[in-house]
Chains A and B, each alone.
Chain A
């Protein structure tokens, strides 16, 4: 019993003094509980959804506002009319990511299907939305339109008898189109949305081997030895970035290739790479710069490789959860969606989505590249300052 108690006491003391392990066990789930609960709250509540749908009523009919009122009562989405500062063109509003969905109502007499109801509905879907949310919205829309047609039919029956019934009765048409900068109107697929997210997430995991490599050098004394040789002190740190930058590029190439070739071979839809290989390269370089700068900062802050794994791994998961990797940003509440914009993973994801989903060009990803590069270089500069002040 004495032995048992002595060993238990020892293990308790060791566990209690492992601050990083404890932080991982307590802080990580706590942060996840908060982040994921807030991020997903609007998808599971019925009293006030966050997903905004831009509505443009171009019908000029009384039924237009009536339909919008009916839609607002269905719950699940918030139908908003276009604010003044937004472009009048719904295509542009969705392409700019101001709205995930845009609904345009037109007079059916102008668009050729007056027999199926007074209104014609065109739903424009943004490239970053999910198929489930799209199905939910089109279902709500069809239901509201069908109710309107049914009401009008009953009124006609009451007023005119059977003679007043429309010649054709069928499913109320909702036309769905997909917005992208190339104007292809192709429906985004699962692979098109998932590959960029997990690619960015995966690239940031260079943080762990990079920081471990530097900490090992520090612990083994090789860094000290290099510092005794007449050369700039930052050089051994900066050269360490080169292989991991190359590895990040290869990693991105392989993951994109998996989306293009492997997923279809396994029965899924293939990844379309967009129109701008240069844009893909630029945003990949931006994500790598951010990840490696962050990794270097972790390496200088952490004392041991265990700490680096904890800090780097947990930090990546939190950046991913906050940054829209695990939960799409468009379904987050406004406060969370704004918070997501602070995560460099969110910038990287936006950059890849610009190319892969919105078929943008290098110019479209330059803002994201700039933000990622600035983040990476700032973290790297801070790491170099910390390292230079570290005794030995």
Chain B
């Protein structure tokens, strides 16, 4: 766990959970390193749950296990109280919106929606109604009859989302649903997802964009190297004991030993001349920090001091090294 573990608060254990994960382990065939090493997680019903982690951390593996694409080596997954290992029908109450454009490029948007509605067992007027609602939610009305492969990246993302809404899932898994699109499409998708909150849908959302997590999510977990590093409510993390952060731009790149003076105040991450600190004690003042840097022979060109952002917490938890 990180040096900011004191800031984490778990989701209210008393609230009815949509998803309960215990001791989840998974290793891909032919690979020695486990992708997940004993994950315990509770995701409360009707909440938007942000799942963060660097590339290769295990987020997509976790979603694949939650959606039945993969089978765990060990551990249990209860979805609305039903064990996925023995009750495949539990999947009927959920939907995955993958990171890929997981639809048929040669078909029109409408044909894609009709296809997936049929796969969900929807027929006749009910299918038409669901298609119409999903298309409206995702702003696809005018272009449904065009070939999906010819859509822009933003429209493809919206169609990808619309397919995930067809079965009115109680749990919607969104795997980086805004990757590679323009700001307008991204904003539209985020608003659409936030609109789903009124339907009491549980949303599990993975992203590398911290501002999206802050915009959408009630609860957050950080996963790295197949291990859960942090779980708590977003408010708890941002306003908790270690909610204060400082960012410094130094005049020179600091040596590893030079920052020992700062590490006594909290979790430090360094990128070139940029130094971030998540403070362990809310009483630490800016003067304390500047004095510590000066005594280490480091001069500061620029500094920010205030409430920590999700990115500060994330970097502190996942540390600064590059991932494979």
Contacts and interface: CB of A to CB of B under 8 A. Distances in A.
Interface of A: 220-222, 224-231, 389, 391-392
Given A231-B119, A391-B28, A221 B100 contact: yes
A210 B120 CA distance: 24
A222 B102 contact: yes
A50 B28 CA distance: 55
A64 to B, nearest CB: 70
A90 B133 CA distance: 76
A387 to B, nearest CB: 13
B103 interface: yes
A392 B69 contact: yes
A301 B321 CA distance: 37
Contacts of B233: none
A221 B70 contact: no
B55 to A, nearest CB: 17
A391 B94 CA distance: 20
Contact of B88 (A225, A230, A391): A230
B92 interface: yes
Contact of B96 (A225, A230, A231, A391): A225
B101 A392 contact: no
Contacts of B108: none
B98 A225 contact: yes
A232 to B, nearest CB: 9
B119 A392 contact: no
B164 to A, nearest CB: 9
A230 B119 CA distance: 9
Nearest to B88: A230
A210 to B, nearest CB: 15
A161 to B, nearest CB: 90
B100 A391 contact: no
Interface string B4-34: 0000000000000000000000001100000
19 contacts: A220-B102, A220-B103, A221-B98, A221-B102, A222-B104, A224-B64, A224-B96, A224-B98, A224-B100, A225-B96, A225-B98, A226-B119, A227-B68, A227-B69, A228-B91, A229-B167, A230-B91, A230-B92, A392-B70
Contacts, number: 54
B100 A220 contact: yes
A391 B99 CA distance: 17
A228 B103 contact: no
A348 B29 CA distance: 39
B91 A224 contact: no
B70 A225 contact: no
Nearest to B112: A222
Contacts of A225: 96, 98, 102, 116, 163
A224 B102 CA distance: 8
Interface string B60-78: 0000100111100000000
Contacts of B101: 220-221
Given A224-B64, A224-B100, 11 more contacts: A220-B101, A220-B102, A222-B104, A224-B69, A225-B102, A228-B95, A229-B91, A230-B88, A230-B92, A389-B29, A391-B29
A391 to B, nearest CB: 5
B100 A228 contact: no
A84 B288 CA distance: 110
A392 B71 CA distance: 9
A226 B91 CA distance: 11
Interface of B: 28-29, 64, 67-70, 88-92, 94-96, 98-105, 116, 119-120, 163, 167
A222 B163 CA distance: 11
B120 A229 contact: yes
Contacts of B90: 230
Between B88, B105, B119, the greatest number of chain A beta carbons within 10 A of the residue's beta carbon is seen for: B119
Contacts of B104: 222
A228 B92 contact: no
Contacts of B102: 220-222, 224-225
A236 to B, nearest CB: 8
A221 B100 CA distance: 6
A222 B103 contact: yes
Contacts of A226: 119
Nearest to A239: B119
A350 to B, nearest CB: 38
Contacts of B89: 230
Contacts of B167: 229
A389 B71 CA distance: 10
B9 to A, nearest CB: 31
Contacts of B29: 389, 391
A392 B105 CA distance: 21
A228 B66 CA distance: 9
B91 A392 contact: no
A222 B28 CA distance: 20
A230 B96 CA distance: 12
Q: Which 6 A-B pairs have the closest CB atoms?
A: A221-B100, A221-B102, A228-B67, A225-B102, A230-B91, A228-B96
Contacts of B68: 227-228, 230
Contact of A228 (B69, B99, B105): B69
B24 to A, nearest CB: 15
Nearest to B120: A229
B95 to A, nearest CB: 7
Contacts of A392: 64, 69-70
A391 B70 contact: yes
Nearest to B30: A391
Contacts of A231: 119
B50 to A, nearest CB: 20
A151 B68 CA distance: 88
B301 to A, nearest CB: 40
B167 to A, nearest CB: 8
A218 to B, nearest CB: 10
Contacts of A229: 91-92, 119-120, 167
Between B68, B69, B105, B116, the greatest number of chain A beta carbons within 10 A of the residue's beta carbon is seen for: B69
A252 B103 CA distance: 32
A310 B100 CA distance: 26
